[in-house]
Every structure is written in structure tokens, then in C-alpha cells.
Amino acid sequence: MSEHKHSLEAALERDQRDPLAPLRDRFHVPPSTLYMDGNSLGLLSIGAEESLARVLDSWKQLGVRGWLEADPPWFWYAERLGELVAGLVGAAPDEVVATGTTTMNIHLLVSSFYRPTAGRKKILADALNFPTDIYALRSQLALHGADPERDLILVESRDGRTLDEADIEAQMGDDVALVFLPSVLYRSGQLLDLERLCRAARERSIPLGLDCSHSVGAVSHQLDAWDVDFAVWCGYKYLNGGPGAPAFLYVNRRHFGLGPALAGWFGYAKERQFDLRLDFEPQPDAGGWQVSSPGILGAAPLLGSLEIFAEVGIEVLERKSRELTGYLIELVDARLTKAPYEFAVGTPRDPRRRSGHIALERNEEAYRIGLALRARGVVPDFRPPNLIRLAPVPLYTGFADVWRVVQHLVEIIDGEEHLQYDAKRQAIT
């Protein structure tokens, strides 16, 4: 029974029963590749390719008239993308806009929401966040005359992998002016209890912002229901917008009146933007935080990509994602934990506490094992010193793909294949 449960045949049967399996045909999966890196750069869909081609064609046919006459008009492109993604995150359409990049959007929103006073000037964050978020917070502290070291509280992890929500809550003191946290830890893949953290911050009247780069497009969110103050996320990971695609920002409608701290003409009240007056009148919604002309060519693939999400529904994708990651954990436990394999799963086992990727921990050999995986056509990613991250994205990954990745790992270790690679790391892994 358990033999069959972990067989390739069983995985193939699951794929056959899977109503989402045909979606894979709507993606360009690189030939002979098991792509497990959609948490870093999602794949190109045919829809995204078409929406990009449409923008090029409108430019060709319409020139400047494309701003109003293209479909959709470029003037409202960022808002249209915001509308499409709002449904994925539990927000109203006017609370979300596509703009900038994740780090830029942290700057844009933190400069509005961080209002330090003499007795309340600390920012509360965590020691496991992606470094760029911390660089942005430190420079915002410095810009506001606070101390980038002393006034940044970084909640530490107890086990080096995960955060305990109680530890974060315990640090929400009277001296904290802003809480800024990731929804999902980029290394271990832990999904924080966002509802609980939002409630705790609200009870203490501290504004809370989230970086949802590793969760939007993988799991559902309820930004409005949780009463998050603001959020940012990335367009090129699970949303498949392409390398350097625009990011998104969310502003809870309670704060529309706040207005941007860093103004630019694309944040002007839309109906009067082209009156070109010198006094700034912000658009009274999330769009007010835009600064410059949206990069339509860079944004275009997102339109086609987001249509798939709207069509399938994030709850359906989330369910399959959790089945795939759960299956991966099960296979690792069954086949890869004992000597000589010695892998361990660093991601929480409770499906509600994880997003779309699984962190496989090993020793420092993880880097060379990653190279051996690549040589076999698997695309994982590696995070030093000892992590291989695998993201079985439900849009284009099946159960048999997950089985094959685990089989490759078994064969690599059996044949000591990783030992033939240079242990020195290259720049991008």
C-alpha cells in the first residue's frame, strides 16, 4: 500500500484526475525541464506573451494615441492590473495598483506610514526578512532622523527558520511607530499568521505593513478583512509577470486621505492630471501613490498572466499548491531523510503555515547538489549556506514532476554525482 502510494504510477494517476493539469499547456515550460523556481521567476504564459504582443502592436498602430485608445488604454493600465490582482488579495479594486518595484514601493509607503514622534519612533521588523526590505527600513529611519540601528527592532527566530507570532506581538510596545513584516519567510517558506498579527497591531494602534512577495499568487489573502494598513508585493514571482515586472502596492481605503509622501504626476487625480497644474492633488485611492508614467511594455505580460488567476480562482490554486507541497514533503520524508541522503524539510508541516515553496535543508553540499540537479534538467534554487528551495507551482507542475525531482535527488546522492562539481559559488544561483 505505502509502496504504491509513493510510486510514479500513483503520481501519474493523480495528474490524470487533476482538473488543473491542462493549464500547463498554457505555459512555455522550457523543454526537458522540471521547473521548480516559480517562486523566484514565474514562467511565461501564452496569455502573457499575447498581451505583450498586443501592446507592441498598439504602439505600432496607434503611437501616442495608445494612451487612450489601446485596449486596455495605457493611461489606465496600472489601475486595470490593480483591479485584476485585488481579487487575489481580498482588496477592493481601487486599493491596489501596479507600480514601481517592491523595494521602491516599500519606500513609497513607509514614507507615508512611518510618522515618528519623540516617544514613538521605532520600526518593528524581523531578522529573517529578505535583506532589501531591511535596507529600505534602515534608510527610511535615517531619512526621518531616527537611528537606523537602535530604532529598528528585529525580532529574532528561535530555531533559525521560523518566527513565533507571540515573539513579534511581545515587541509591539509603546515606542513602536510602524510594524513591517513579510507574509512568508523567503528561506523556510513559513507563512505567518497574518490575521493574528494585524489584530495585535490594531489593538495597539500601530500601523502595520506587509511584504507579500512570497505569497501573492500562491495562497489567498484577506487584506481588507484583516485590516492591513498597507502592503507591497512582487509581480514576477508567482504572478508570472516576467523579469523585473512592476510590483504592486495596496493601501487600505481608511488611509486614502493620507496621500503620498513622495509625489509625482501619475499620482495626480486621474480626471485632472492633464490640466497640468502646479499644485498637487493626489488621486484619492491607491493610485495616488504612483509617481511616474507606467512602463507599459514591462507591465504588459501581467495582464495576460493575471487573467488565468481570475479564471481559475486563487482558492483552487492554493488547494493544489498545498497538495503538491504536501506530497513533496511526504516523499522527502519517505525517501530522502536517512543516510546517505540526509535531507530535512525546513518548512512548517501544517499546510496553513506555508506558501508555495519547500525548503530542503542539507549540509554545505546543498550547493553542489543544486548544480547536479540543474545538470539533470531540474531548476531549483539555492540559498546559502545549506538550502535548496523547490516550488511546485500548481499552474504548470504536476505530481509526477514532484516525484521525478525526488527521484533525481535519490539518484544524485546514490551516484555521488554532486562531487564532480566545483564547490565555489557563482554570482546568481
Which residues of this protein are in contact with ligand PLP, per CB under 6 A? 101-103, 130, 132-133, 182, 186, 211, 213-214, 234, 237, 247
- In the complex, the smallest distance separating the C-beta of residue 229 from ligand PLP, rounded to whole angstroms, is 18
- In the complex, the smallest distance separating the C-beta of residue 186 from ligand PLP, rounded to whole angstroms, is 5
Q: Choose the catalytic residue: 121, 122, 161, 237.
A: 237
Q: Choose the catalytic residue: 229, 389, 399, 401.
A: 389
- In the complex, the smallest distance separating the C-beta of residue 264 from ligand PLP, rounded to whole angstroms, is 18
Q: Choose the catalytic residue: 15, 115, 120, 130.
A: 130
Name 422's bridge partners.
none
Has 236 been annotated as catalytic? yes
Using CA atoms, how far apart are residues 215 and 195, in angstroms rounded to an integer?
14
Q: Contact, 246 vs 299, CB < 8 A?
A: yes
- In the complex, the smallest distance separating the C-beta of residue 45 from ligand PLP, rounded to whole angstroms, is 19
Nearer to ligand PLP, 58 or 162 (CB): 162
Nearer to ligand PLP, 102 or 252 (CB): 102
Q: Contact, 263 vs 288, CB < 8 A?
A: no
Nearer to ligand PLP, 40 or 325 (CB): 40
Nearer to ligand PLP, 107 or 408 (CB): 107
Question: Can you tell me whether residue 405 is helix, strand or coil?
Answer: helix
Has 285 been annotated as catalytic? no
Question: Can you tell me whether residue 197 is helix, strand or coil?
Answer: helix
Nearer to ligand PLP, 214 or 376 (CB): 214
Using CA atoms, how far apart are residues 383 and 347, in angstroms rounded to an integer?
14
Has 130 been annotated as catalytic? yes
- In the complex, the smallest distance separating the C-beta of residue 9 from ligand PLP, rounded to whole angstroms, is 37
Using CA atoms, how far apart are residues 25 and 199, in angstroms rounded to an integer?
42
Q: Choose the catalytic residue: 211, 229, 381, 401.
A: 211
Nearer to ligand PLP, 214 or 362 (CB): 214
Nearer to ligand PLP, 136 or 413 (CB): 136
Using CA atoms, how far apart are residues 168 and 61, in angstroms rounded to an integer?
54
What is the residue-wise DSSP string for 232-301?
EE-SSSTT---TT--EEEEE-GGGGGG--SS--GGGB-GGGGGG--SS--B-SSGGGG--S---HHHHHH
Q: Contact, 119 vs 174, CB < 8 A?
A: yes
CA dihedral 139, 143, 147, 153 (to 10 degrees): -50
Using CA atoms, how far apart are residues 46 and 58, in angstroms rounded to an integer?
18
Cell of 37: 523556481
Q: Choose the catalytic residue: 236, 266, 367, 382.
A: 236
Has 211 been annotated as catalytic? yes
- In the complex, the smallest distance separating the C-beta of residue 429 from ligand PLP, rounded to whole angstroms, is 15
- In the complex, the smallest distance separating the C-beta of residue 64 from ligand PLP, rounded to whole angstroms, is 29
417-to-32, 255, 422 alpha-carbon distances in Å: 19, 56, 12
- Positions marked active-site: 130, 211, 236-237, 389
